[in-house]
Structure 1
Amino acid sequence: MEKSQAPMQPIICSIQHLKTSMQVKNITFHGLRHTHASYLIYKGVSIYYIFQRLGHAN
């Protein structure tokens, strides 16, 4: 594992545990990020707020 990935390891482990317990296949942290953004858009949250919340670079 690269040094830059180390802070994400507990989150990745939690996602893996949830995937197993919920019998969900092939979901990644990036996929969850997109799902979260899509849900916020669906609920009418402003794009600017989503941009800030997700910390997207561009």
Structure 2
Amino acid sequence: MKIIPPSGKPLSFKFDGLVLNRVKHDEALVELAKKYGAEYLTGKRVIDVIGNKVILKDGSEITG
């Protein structure tokens, strides 16, 4: 398998690769997390993570 990362330097690996649809994969992870009680937020900016606390740009905090 040969990949070219954002740095532009090609990387080669001696094994078969696997390609997945990243959008569908991420959507499935969101649905699975929500099924187990996670809250999914959009339009929020994280400015810091301290332990199990997330600080958002608007000053609010989320603890998990």
TM-score, normalised to structure 2, is 0.34
Select the structure with the greater relative contact order (CA < 8 A; seq sep ≥ 6): 1
Structure with the higher fraction of residues in strand conformation: 2
User: Which is helix-richer, 1 or 2?
Assistant: 1
Tell which structure's C-alpha radius of gyration is larger.
2
